[in-house]
Structure 1
């Protein structure tokens, strides 16, 4: 009679032991893999370290990202906005009338749209108002940290201010966004190769 409960306890322990030995590594592998995958190649620099990409939370995050990104450009869905933006663009690059362009860009009522904020910054820079230009470049990058043309123009601003190390940082940001073959990278790299004090034509 005494041996029977001991045998039953031994058998029960033996049968449940494999479950405990197998279970923790499965849980650890799932959690560890998700943390590395979630924070790893996130182009948005997110510190998110949630589940692996196959989980619903990760899919929701990606879906949210896809739906958020177009809202930054949604003003361009409006034909009237597009036409007014083109007019301001031509005022800057064809007529070099930067004061008029600033008024035209403000009239769009989308100062936080990165393309608009960047061109306002560019116009102030061309007028020699470097402090105001900096504020608008930073506003554009706040709206879209991957706005490559702002990184380019702001990098040129840095060179004009004598901040070549900072301009080099901007160049590395551009490379991370669009590579070393894009126009924005090539033009900033060319400006950095010029001797300090050389007037920029950009």
Structure 2
């Protein structure tokens, strides 16, 4: 007799759990969001929450794909070989000023669609005087992370070198929207914009 009473109760709990599951799935599928930092050793990423989907199956798929992409990104950022290779390329650029070698080092990392890597490739091409390829890589960095402040900064200098002061002003406004007017990226581009056109800029 006791056995017969517990079966309906257990079945009732199971039904409640099953009918409640889609709403929980949608909550988790909606994803997180918030400001930058997030422990990324190579720069900030500013993201916003994605809205929940009305189709729970689609939400499950998107959430799984999103988690997979995040896990992939995390895995290579945490890889000691990637970190060392990135630091070596960084030193090649800023300490040795060997931009051609740095491009090879950065491409060898296998993650040139990552904003920090693409930005440094663009910077290196710009320093070599190849403005077309530099622009391609800056655009690629911004496609990967539209709020990558250092790319907006370097691309702003690119615009100044091309004589595009209005475009550089736009880049400055993007930087201000991302990190304000006190960050180094804003201050350096703002100072460059105050120089007379044709000034020899060092950056």
Indicate whether the TM-score tops 0.5. yes
Q: List per-residue Cα deviations over 1:71-127 (Å, max 9, x = no partner).
A: 556522101100010000000000000000000001101110110000000000000
Q: List per-residue Cα deviations over 1:8-37 (Å, max 9, x = no partner).
A: xxxxxxxxxxxxxxxxxxxxxxxxxxxxxx
Match of 2:93 in 1: 92
Match of 1:39 in 2: none
Match of 1:190 in 2: 191
Distance in structure 2 (CA, Å) of the matches to 1:135 and 1:149: 16
Match of 2:170 in 1: 169
Gaps of 5+ in 1: 1-41
> How many angstroms does 1:69 deviate by?
6.2
Instruction: Give the secondary structure class of the aligned counterpart of 1:110.
Output: coil
Distance in structure 1 (CA, Å) of the matches to 2:126 and 2:74: 24
TM-score (norm 2): 0.66
> How many angstroms does 1:175 deviate by?
0.6
**Is 1:108–2:109 an aligned residue pair?**
yes
Gaps of 5+ in 2: 1-34, 36-45
> How many angstroms does 1:49 deviate by?
7.8
Q: Which has the larger radius of gyration?
A: 1
Taking a change above 3 Å as real, the CA distance of residues 49 and 86 of structure 1, as seen in their structure-2 partners, is closer
Taking a change above 3 Å as real, the CA distance of residues 114 and 93 of structure 1, as seen in their structure-2 partners, is same
Taking a change above 3 Å as real, the CA distance of residues 70 and 174 of structure 1, as seen in their structure-2 partners, is farther
Distance in structure 2 (CA, Å) of the matches to 1:70 and 1:157: 33
Match of 2:137 in 1: 136
Distance in structure 2 (CA, Å) of the matches to 1:93 and 1:145: 24
Structure 1 runs (4+) deviating above 3 angstroms are: 42-46, 48-51, 66-74
Decide whether the 8 Å contact of 1:85 with 1:108 is kept in 2: yes
Match of 2:149 in 1: 148
The count of aligned residue pairs is 151
Distance in structure 2 (CA, Å) of the matches to 1:145 and 1:79: 26
Distance in structure 1 (CA, Å) of the matches to 2:76 and 2:188: 28
**Is 1:118–2:119 an aligned residue pair?**
yes
Instruction: Give the secondary structure class of the aligned counterpart of 2:197.
Output: coil
Taking a change above 3 Å as real, the CA distance of residues 163 and 97 of structure 1, as seen in their structure-2 partners, is same
TM-score (norm 1): 0.67
